[in-house]
Structure 1
C-alpha cells in the first residue's frame, strides 16, 4: 500500500489509475500536512511505501491492503482512521453519478478539492471513467474555476458562496455537485438564480462520496432511517472496513451512519449529526436546525452553530456568523422562530467561517472560542 505525498497532477492520477486496475493500493495524503500529522498518519495506517516527487521509499512495518484506495479521515482531532474502499465501490459510485447527472463521455471535470479527501478523489475517478484528464487546480480561485473550461465540478458550500460573491458566471458548468457540508437554502436559491445547475449530494468517505443526490439515492443504493433516527445505507458503494481496526458499523449489511434523517416519499432529508445536539439548561438544541433558521436573516452570509461549555447552563448556544448582525438582533430573530432556549447566547462575527481542508466547518476552532480565529466582533457575550 503506497502512501502518496504528491501534489494533484499526472503522477497522482496515474497511481489512482493503477490502483483501480489492481495495482498497489493508494493512501493519498496532503503534501501540506505538518510533519507531526504526517507521522501520525503513517504510524496509524502503516503503508508499505511512501511516494513523493523525489521517488518511492519502502517504510518499515508496512502492511499491505486489499483495497484500492484508503482515505484518511479523522476530522480535526484524534488518531487518523483509514476508510478502505475497493475499486468496485469507487467505480460503482462514479458510474452512478455520471448517469444521474447525464454527463457525456469526453466531458471534463474540474478538481479543486483536496485529492486526499473522497470528494476530490471521486473527481479523478469520474474523469478516468469519462476518458478525460481532469482540470486540476491545487488552490481554489472563483475566477480561475469559472474560466477552467470544465463542464462539471464538485464544490463545498463555502466555495460556491465565494463564486457567487465574485460574480462569476455559474452557468458555465453543466453541473455543480455540492457536498461536504450542509448547504443553506439561501445559498442554493442564489446560485440557481445565477444560472447554476446545483445538485446537492449526501455521502461520506465510507460511501465512496455522495450516494444521495437531491434526496434520492443513486442507482443501486438503498437508504433508510432506523428507529433511532440514524441514516442507514446499503449498496455497492460501501467501504469494507477501517484499516487495521476491528470497528465495523454495520447491521445486516447496512452501514449505520452518525447522521440523523427522515425519509418521506422516498426522499431523504438529513437533519444533522447524532452528536449535533447541544444540551443547554437541560434542553436539547439541534445545532444544524438553529443554523438553518439563522441563515434566513438578511444580514447573515454564512453561519455555523456550536455548543460551548458553560458553568451555569452546561453548554451555551454559540452562533459564529459571517455577515452584518448584532447579538440582540440575531437573538430576537431566532426567538420569533425557535424556542427561547435555542436562540444563541453568544454571537461572534467573523470575516469567514474557519474550515478544515475538506471544506467542512472547523468545529474545534469554533468551540474553542474567539481566540481561535481572527475578526470576531459584533456582539460576543
Structure 2
C-alpha cells in the first residue's frame, strides 16, 4: 500500500476520529489529510518533484507529519534528519541524499540552513499563533495553499531514506519503499497489538525509525490517535499521559527510568490509562523491570528489537516474560519476521550457543543509498545480517550479548565509535584514541574515550568535550576519559576494543 493511500483510507473509514494531537491542537483524520495535501502543494511550489528527496529536521511537531505525507502525496521521498546534528553533519547528509527541499523547525533553523547543500528551506513555526506566524512559515503556507489533487504512486516507489550509523562511522541511508513501511506498521500493530482506540504517545524523536515507522504508522494504520510531545522531558511525559489519557507509548529504557527518579511527585500522576509500556534500544534487567512495574503500577511492559534496515522489525518480549527472561529480546521473530542465530559455520545456534542474529522479512530495505558494497555485506540471500551476537537459552529465547559493529547505544541514540574517534584525532594533544561503550544501568551504555596523549600534554575530560562540542552532536560526546600510554592492538595493528571493554567493566 502507498502511504498516501493509507491516510486516504483512514479518512474514508474514520474521517472524524482524532488523528493527531499536539499541545492542545487537534486534527481529525479528514483535517490531517487535508493539511498533508496542502503541504504537498507547498512542497511542489518550492520545487519538489516526483522522485526528489525532502529532508525534514524538526522536533515532534505536526509539521513533520504534514511534510512527510505531503512528500508522499507529491510523489517524493522523505529523509528524516536528526534535529541534534551540527551544521557540518547536516550538510553531509543532505549532500549525500541530494535533498532538493527541506523543512526545519525555526528553533534550529540557523544551524540547519547554514548547511551549504543547495537545498531550498521551508521554516516551521509550530507553536506560534496563526496571526503571529511569519507569512512564509511552513504552517502559513499550508493554510493558504490548495489541496494537491495528484494520484498516488505504487507501493514499490521509494518512500524513505533512513540514516543509520555503521561500523565505518559514516552514516548510511537505508532505502525503504511504501510497501516495506506499510508492512512494518502492520507487523508492529499485530505484535503488541495496537487497537482502533489507541492513543499513542510519541515522545522519542519522530525522525527515528521506530517512533516513525512502528508507532506513528502503526497507530495511523489502525485508526488510533498520535499524541505528540515536542521533545522528551520526564515530567512532560507524565503530564501528556495524564492529560490525553494515553494508552500506549514507546521509549528507550532511560526515558522510563528517569521520571521515577527525577520527578518528586511521580506518584501523584494518573497513569492508569496506559495498557502498553513499550521499550527498545536496550534491555531491562530483572531488578529494574520489577522496580518499573511497581512504580508504574503495571506489568504490561513490552520490549521490541529491530533495526532501521528491517523497517524496523525483529523480535518482541511480551509482558509475561519481562522478569523470567529479563535481558532477552524474545523467542523467534515477531509476526511477519523470521529470526535465526547463525554460528560461524553457518549452522543455527543451539541452546547455550552464540551466533549472529539474522532476520528475514518483507520489510527489509532495498539497500543502502549509493553503497552496493555495504549492502552486499549485510545481505545473505533474503536474510539481513544484523551484526548483533545473540546467545540462545534452553527455551529458545535470544539475548544480545555483544555487537559485531562498534556502535554504542546510549539513551536510545546510536553512536558510531569511529565517527567520534575521527573527530578526536584532530585534537592537537591526542596521539591515539579508541571510543567504546561502558555498560550503564540507566543509559544502556555511556560513551568512553580511551586516549593516548602526546608527550607532555595535560588532557582532561572538560577540555576534550569542549573540543568536540562544535564538531559532533552532544549525545556522541564522551562522558568519560581514560588515559593510557598505548592501546592494545592485534599483530596486524587493529585496536582490540574487546580488551578495552573488559578493562572498563572490571
Same fold per superposition (TM over 0.5) = yes
Give the whole-Å Cα distance in 2 for the aligned partners of 1:129 and 1:307: 41
Matched, 1:111 2:207: no
What does residue 86 of structure 1 align with?
A: 177
Tell me if structure 1 keeps the 8 A contact 2:234–2:255. yes
Give the whole-Å Cα distance in 1 for the aligned partners of 2:225 and 2:384: 33
Residues 61-95 of structure 1 show CA distances to partners (whole Å, capped at 9, x for unaligned) of 99xx9421111122799332111122222222222
Give the whole-Å Cα distance in 2 for the aligned partners of 1:221 and 1:89: 12
Give the whole-Å Cα distance in 1 for the aligned partners of 2:406 and 2:480: 13
What does residue 478 of structure 2 align with?
A: 365
Pair 134,306 (structure 1): closer, same or farther in 2 beyond 3 Å: closer
Matched, 1:230 2:360: no
Tell me if structure 2 keeps the 8 A contact 1:96–1:219. yes
What does residue 14 of structure 1 align with?
A: 66
Tell me if structure 2 keeps the 8 A contact 1:111–1:124. yes
Larger Rg: 2
Secondary structure class of the residue paired with 2:158: coil
Tell me if structure 2 keeps the 8 A contact 1:17–1:128. no
Tell me if structure 1 keeps the 8 A contact 2:162–2:175. yes
Give the whole-Å Cα distance in 1 for the aligned partners of 2:360 and 2:477: 31
What does residue 259 of structure 1 align with?
A: 388
Pair 267,104 (structure 1): closer, same or farther in 2 beyond 3 Å: same
Alignment of 1:286-365 (within 5 A): 291=439, 304=445, 309=450, 365=478
Aligned residue pairs, count: 304
What does residue 432 of structure 2 align with?
A: none
The structure where helix makes up a greater share of residues is 2
Pair 367,272 (structure 1): closer, same or farther in 2 beyond 3 Å: farther
Give the whole-Å Cα distance in 2 for the aligned partners of 1:10 and 1:362: 25
Pair 259,20 (structure 1): closer, same or farther in 2 beyond 3 Å: farther
Give the whole-Å Cα distance in 2 for the aligned partners of 1:306 and 1:109: 31
Unaligned runs of 5+ in 1: 278-286, 296-300, 312-347, 349-360, 371-380
What does residue 239 of structure 1 align with?
A: 365
Match of 1:198 among 285, 301, 317: 301
Unaligned runs of 5+ in 2: 1-52, 121-155, 318-329, 345-354, 408-435, 453-460, 462-473, 484-505
Give the whole-Å Cα distance in 2 for the aligned partners of 1:53 and 1:362: 20
Matched, 1:173 2:274: yes
Give RMSD over aligned pairs. Answer: 3.7
Could you tell me how far 1:170 is from its partner in structure 2? 5.0
What does residue 149 of structure 2 align with?
A: none
Residues 103-139 of structure 1 show CA distances to partners (whole Å, capped at 9, x for unaligned) of 2113111111112211221322122212234111122
Could you tell me how far 1:154 is from its partner in structure 2? 0.6
